[in-house]
Structure 1
């Protein structure tokens, strides 16, 4: 009989963008998970049961595309400090972790930092690189959307 080795390690992806938009606008937009699909390529849909920015304690679900597989995720908002910090923790069969946003006013716009912390037992060599790429794309799309769309 062989013991099965499960190794999961905590991974972290930290990215930052300067967004030429007011901090309130950025915060209100990024803290609406049902709009994440508008800028994050892995987000297929989210159900928050409400509209607008989510307060701490709120639970919601999201379906993400994890390397071509639809994965349902469960979330709980841990921190909602308007307009400077937002953190939600998530769990699923494939991956667990947290997403945290830090915002600060900067030169008439907003410095937006997104920290994704996750761990998984999936042995996927390309997962971290792919998540890094997708996070990059997501932040570029978020910046573009907030700077160019009068959607608010």
Structure 2
């Protein structure tokens, strides 16, 4: 076998090893989680904002990623309650089971998502009373399960998810200020 053929085989084998390593699951916390934050000032009291956005039946009306929600969706969810949401996030369709993990009235509300049996992230909403209404903060935190995901996330997904989250918060603001009666 010639030296050139041997060199090509080594390069190809190395490429396969490196490419394979990109898809190996990383231990939780090996890379920093991604955090998406969107903020709006909503001219409604925190209690009205909280009741509206914690009622899953309203999600498709204000969040562009929420296609539908199933389960007990007709009331503000309490800790331990869960719903199933059909979503499209950054072009990816799926189903997530959201379970309420935190509710401190009217300051914080968090839901933890599971997709295909794996943790998919946490959405945390924080409300702060202001003179003219509510400072509304939506944070979405999700893990980085592989190097491949980290690359795709940094190059494509993160900015798209940020834009979708910003649009959701802006829609919620418009809906609460202009459509939903006080």
TM-score of the two chains, using structure 2 as the length reference:
0.75
Q: Give the corresponding residue for 1:110.
A: 134
Q: Give the corresponding residue for 1:57.
A: 80
Larger Rg: 2
Given candidates 61, 67, 80, the residue that maps to 1:44 is 67
Secondary structure of 2:44's aligned partner: coil
* Residue 82 in structure 1 maps to residue 105 in structure 2: yes
- Report how far residue 92 of structure 1 moved: 1.1
Q: Give the corresponding residue for 1:147.
A: 177
Greater mean alpha carbon deviation, residues 85-94 or residues 95-104: 85-94
CA RMSD across the alignment: 2.1
Secondary structure of 1:21's aligned partner: coil
The structure with more strand, counted as a fraction of residues? 1
* Contact 1:95-1:120 within 8 A present in 2 as well: no
Aligned residue pairs, count:
152
Greater mean alpha carbon deviation, residues 111-120 or residues 96-105: 111-120
Given candidates 92, 97, 107, the residue that maps to 2:121 is 97
* Residue 72 in structure 1 maps to residue 95 in structure 2: yes
Secondary structure of 1:101's aligned partner: strand
Secondary structure of 2:158's aligned partner: helix
Query: C-alpha separation between the residues in 1 aligned to 2:40 and 2:57?
Result: 22
Mapping 1:126-145, distance limit 5 Å:
126-145=156-175
The structure with more helix, counted as a fraction of residues? 2
Q: Give the corresponding residue for 1:14.
A: 37
Greater mean alpha carbon deviation, residues 139-148 or residues 79-88: 79-88
* Contact 1:23-1:83 within 8 A present in 2 as well: yes
TM-score of the two chains, using structure 1 as the length reference:
0.89
Q: Which runs of 4+ in 1 moved over 4 A?
A: none
